[in-house]
Structure formats: C-alpha cells, structure tokens
Amino acid sequence: MFFRYTVKKDKRNVWDKMAPVWRKREYMVYTLLNFDAAKDIRLFGMKNWLLGKQHDILSEKQDRMLYSKNLWIYNSIFAHGMLVLSTAAVYGILIFTFLGRDMSIGDFTLYVGLSTTFTSALTNVLNNIGGFKQNSLKIDDFRSFIDLDMDREESCINIPETDKYKFEFKNVSYRYKGQEGYALKNLNITLEAGKKLAVVGLNGAGKTTFIKLLLRLYDPTEGVILLNGIDIRKFRRNEYYKIFSPVFQNVEIFAFSMAENISMKKTEETDKELVKQCIEKAGLKEKLDTLEKGVDTELLKILHDDGIDLSGGERQKLALAKALYKNAPVIVLDEPTAALDALAEYRLYKSFDEIIGGKTAVYISHRLSSTRFCDSIAMFKEGELIEQGTHEELLAKGGAYAEMFEIQAQYYKDENGDENMELRGEAAVNV
Ligand SMILES: Nc1ncnc2c1ncn2[C@@H]1O[C@H](COP(=O)(O)OP(=O)(O)O)[C@@H](O)[C@H]1O
Ligand SMILES: [Mg+2]
C-alpha cells in the first residue's frame, strides 16, 4: 500500500512536473545549437545570460530528482522497518509459545520456515502489484494520448471522390486557449469550387486563424465548417489534409536534399523531373542552375558540410515548389511573400494563379493590390468579415476596402514611382 502511495506521489510531484523542465532544457539545447541564433548570441553578448538560464533549469531538474530520490529512500526505510517489525512479532510469538512448552522443537522449526516463506512470497506479490501500478501510471499518459482521436476515427467517413470542393463557414467563431477575446467572430463565408477567394485585412485581423480552421489544424469554438455540405470533423484527418497544398508565412527547411525538401519523400520515391519543373515554375531555376549537384544539393549545414543556405526569398520559392509538387486540389497561400516587395508579391500571386489553373484557391494578404484578380475578396477586421465582393464592387462601394486600397496605392506611388501603375491596376486608370 505504502509503495503504491509513493508511486502515485512520485508521479504527481516529480514526473508530471518534469515535462516543462525537459521542454525548457530541450529549448535551451535547440537555441544554443541554432545557427540563426548565433549572430544574436555573439553581437548582443548573450552568453552569460543564456548560461545563467541553463544553470537555473538544471538546478530545477536536480531539485526535483532529489525530491524523488528522498521519497524512495523514505519508502524503502518504512517498508523494511515494517518487515523487520512483522518478522520480529512472528518470531516473538513462536519463541513465546515454544518456551511455554506448548510447541515441540519440530513444530517450532516448521512454523519459522513457513512464516519466512510466507513473508517472502507476500512481499513478492505486493512488490509485483506495486510494479504493475507503477507501469500502469507510466503508460496512462500514453493511453489518453492514443485515445484522443481514436474514438472518432472509427466513425469517420471518406473524402468525397471529386475534385470540386466547396467550403462553407457557418457562424464560425474561434477563441485561442487562455484568451479572452475571439480571434474570429461569427464568420459566414463560402469558398466556391474552382474559384479564387482572397482574404485581406490588417495584421491581427484573423486571416491566419481562418486558414488554420479551414485546414483543420484547429476546430471552431462555435459554428461549423462544411465541405460539400458535410462537417469537416467527420472526415479522417490525414485524408482531409491531403486535399490542400498550403504555403505559409514561415518556411520550414529541413537538413536534407533540395529534391527531398520539395517532394517530402525519400530520394528513391522522388520524381526528380517533376521537382525540376516545380522549381522552374516557382521561379527558383536561376538558383538551381548555380548548384553543382542540382536538386541533390543538401540544404543547411547542420548535417552536411557542403550544404547550402537559402535566402528568405529563395526559401519562400522553395515552399511554392513544394506546394506545386503536392499538386493537391485546393491551394492556400498565407502571405508566403513577406520577404518580397509589393510589386514582386503581386506578380508572384498572379503568376502562381496562372500556374495552378482552375484549382480552388485561397490567397491571403495584407496588401490589397496583390489579390485584386480574385473572384471574391473578403475583408477581415478584428476577427469579423466586414466586406465581401470583387475588387471593382468593393472599390465602387467606397467602404473600408476602398479606403485602404487608396491609402496603400498612394504609398506605392510615393515609394516606387512608375511601378505604381501596375500595382494600382484599375485604380490607376481612374487617376
Ligand atoms: N496561438 C495564438 N494564441 C493566442 N492568440 C493568438 C494566437 N495566434 C493568433 N492569435 C491572436 O489572434 C488574432 C488573429 O491573429 P491572426 O489570425 O494571426 O491574424 P492575421 O493573420 O490576420 O495577422 C490576433 O489578435 C492574434 O494576436
Ligand atoms: Mg497571418
């Protein structure tokens, strides 16, 4: 019993609380080994500060381990003490009975042997039960993790066999955990099959949250998202992910070959010709031509000394190539163009749109000029959809979109001189 109590206490007070400590330690290792952090660490003289943090984390870990050790020492002393007491009691009773001449020497020897065997067998059983309990607690977390999705997985249905996908958001709201306000409020919007939808708005308007819900990285707090009339939560998650080719703001590059970074498959399973075509379409061919090993060039210097690094713009083009290679029916671009100027972003969105042809697409941008070719433009403000229509309709309406477009167009004119005609599009014709 005491063993079981100790196991529980140890798990609750030490091992459950170790997770954040381990996370901190992992993060420190990651930061200290991260090439990107190296320049800041040197130039801002962060060495002592970081080492201090490392020291604090290790001390915290030591303290917890020490608590665990002490707990087990006390447990062991208590258990052995009890054993000694119970054995002494049994021996006492036997000796007392023997001395009172109620027992022969033969019986005495027999009872001593029996009690020793019984005690050791009982200790073994109790230890094993305790061991089971300990292991059961250890795999409890794993069980609850496995159970997370399994219950729903059996009742899941297959994605409809079509390449015409229509998405509808019905009264969708989303609030991040621990936040008071909603990041998206009562959103009603439809993404028609084969159409291009733009979502525009200032930073923090809820554009990325909208994409995360569409891709089912999060489920709505309220409301429902439908794919061809069916709640997207009914589909098998991994099957659902397959219908999207997304490109995000942050581009993850892996320390493998360029071809593998695009195909996301092993070299043997990668279609290198297709990789080259996607690289060309994504506008990265010039870079590829400078590489001796072509698409087999290793990226980053973490695993390969001759690995190469890519600039911000090149990384984003690589992400586009990756989306093209996946060739999924629905395209999502969430401002993968942060490293580009306004005109380059506009050109990239437009040429990317030509490459993907008639596929359904969602384009996100805070620069209104980039997405004006879309079939429908939805303007978000503080988590709400405030205006929707084509570029021309929204300009004619003279509301928030028109106002923001005018402000941005003015900015491009001042900054880029003659480039503003292309960026301003129809608006420029009216000037
Ligand atoms: N992981 C998160 N946890 C808490 N709040 C978040 C998180 N991500 C975004 N937010 C908040 O949600 C709002 C919408 O953010 P986001 O969808 O990223 O906007 P946008 O992409 O339009 O810039 C912002 O107020 C932002 O601070
Ligand atoms: Mg965003």
- With tokens 């009742």, the residue in question is 155
Instruction: Tell me if 207 CB under 6 Å of ligand 1.
Output: yes
Phi-psi label, residue 24: left if phi above 0, alpha if psi -120 to 50, beta otherwise: alpha
| Distance from residue 212's CA to the centre of ligand 2 (Å) | 10
Distance CA 54, CA 70 (A): 24
Instruction: Tell me if 176 CB under 6 Å of ligand 1.
Output: yes
Question: Crossing angle for the helix pair 47-99 and 16-33, nearest 10 degrees?
Answer: 150
- Residue 411: CB atoms within 10 Å: 14
Ligand closest to Cα of 213 equals 1
DSSP type of residue 216: T
Dump pLDDT digits (tens) for 308-360. Answer: 988 888 888 899 999 999 999 999 999 887 777 788 888 888 888 888 888 99
Distance CA 125, CA 217 (A): 47
Closest residue by CA, ligand 1 atom 16: 206
**From the alpha carbon of 380, which atom of ligand 1 is closest?**
22
299 bridge partner residues: 308
Dump pLDDT digits (tens) for 203-220. Answer: 999 999 999 999 999 999
H-state helical runs in 100-205? 105-153
| Distance from residue 328's CA to the centre of ligand 1 (Å) | 26
Cα three-residue angle 278-282-283, rounded to 5 degrees:
120
In terms of Cβ atoms closer than 10 Å to its own Cβ (0-12, 13-18, 19+), residue 90 is middle
DSSP string, 282-301: TT-HHHHHT-TTGGGPBBSS
Instruction: Tell me if 384 CB under 6 Å of ligand 1.
Output: no
Closest residue by CA, ligand 1 atom 7: 176
**pLDDT value of position 425:** 63
Distance CA 13, CA 62 (A): 14
In terms of Cβ atoms closer than 10 Å to its own Cβ (0-12, 13-18, 19+), residue 295 is buried
Distance CA 275, CA 387 (A): 39
**pLDDT value of position 430:** 36
Q: Considering only CA atoms, which of 216, 218, 221, 219 is closest in space to residue 238?
A: 216
**pLDDT value of position 313:** 83
In sequence order, the 6+-apart residues with CB closer than 8 A to the CB of 46 are 40
| Distance from residue 183's CA to the centre of ligand 1 (Å) | 6
- Write out the two tokens for 122: 């009982």
**pLDDT value of position 37:** 87
- Residue 310: CB atoms within 10 Å: 18
Q: Considering only CA atoms, which of 214, 204, 200, 211 is closest in space to residue 183?
A: 204
Cα three-residue angle 357-358-359, rounded to 5 degrees:
95
Instruction: Tell me if 68 CB under 6 Å of ligand 1.
Output: no
**pLDDT value of position 302:** 80
| Distance from residue 42's CA to the centre of ligand 2 (Å) | 31
Instruction: Tell me if 203 CB under 6 Å of ligand 1.
Output: yes
| Distance from residue 119's CA to the centre of ligand 2 (Å) | 67
Ligand closest to Cα of 203 equals 1
Q: Considering only CA atoms, which of 169, 180, 287 is closest in space to residue 223?
A: 169
Distance CA 127, CA 2 (A): 11
Ligand closest to Cα of 182 equals 1
Q: Considering only CA atoms, which of 301, 239, 250 is closest in space to residue 35?
A: 301
Pocket test for ligand 1, best of 177, 185, 208 (most atoms within 8 A of CB): 208
**pLDDT value of position 174:** 97
Residue 385 is inside which H or E element, if any? strand 384-389
Please list the ranges in the chain whose pLDDT falls under 50.
426-431
